[in-house]
Structure 1
Amino acid sequence: MKTYLIGYDLNKKGQDYADLIDAIKLLSPTWWHNLDSTWVIKSDSTASAIRDNLMSHIDDNDELLVVKLSGEGAWTGFSDNASKWLKDNL
């Protein structure tokens, strides 16, 4: 499985994130979410297919980024469990 970073900004005031969050969770049982608008998921899909799947859950003025990760990363400030997940899944 490949690892993808998903980031988004929902720009409309009063935007409901629940629909988008539910859609991201449905993409993969293996996901990490420790930053407000950033997710990391494991998937056999492509970045374009993930984007296309999520587009129906955002408005036209929102921003969505899906990037395949290379496996290298650096971070600080996360719990031991969050860090372990990243080490195990990047």
Structure 2
Amino acid sequence: MAAYSITYDLHKIKDYARLQEGIDNLSDKFWIKPTLSQYIVKTTYNSAQIRDFLKSYIDQDDVIFVAKMDLNDWASYNVDQNLANQLKTSFF
């Protein structure tokens, strides 16, 4: 399994619950949300598969960006300390 960053912009219809349902289904609820428009998930899917999977959970005018992450090299500022600790220790 690899870690992926999923960022998004929901435009006209902002159905955040629907997108989170897709993230839950994609990752077996194994995710963290360090910012308002980002999830970090651990999954066996690749970036294109994640994008294609989530397209059915968003509208045509919404934006999804998926990138594989190297969690051995990251930094944050003002991210909730509990989330940062999860990334440093047990999350992945």
TM-score, with structure 1 as normaliser: 0.88
Counterpart position of 2:68: 68
Deviates more, 1:60-69 or 1:25-34: 25-34
Structure 1 consecutive aligned stretches of length 4 or more whose deviation exceeds 3 Å = none
What are the ranges of 5 or more consecutive residues in structure 1 without an aligned counterpart?
none
Pair 1:21-2:3 in alignment: no
Q: Quick check: 2:35–2:79 contact (8 Å CA) kept in 1?
A: no
Q: CA RMSD in A?
A: 1.5
Identity value in percent: 35
Counterpart position of 2:79: 78
Pair 1:40-2:47 in alignment: no
Tell me, in whole angstroms, the C-alpha distance in 2 between the residues paired with 1:7 and 1:77: 18
Matched residue count: 89
Q: Quick check: 2:31–2:42 contact (8 Å CA) kept in 1?
A: yes
Q: CA deviation at 1:79?
A: 3.0
Q: Relative to 1, partners in 2 of residues 1:84 and 1:55: Cα closer, same or farther, differing over 3 Å?
A: same
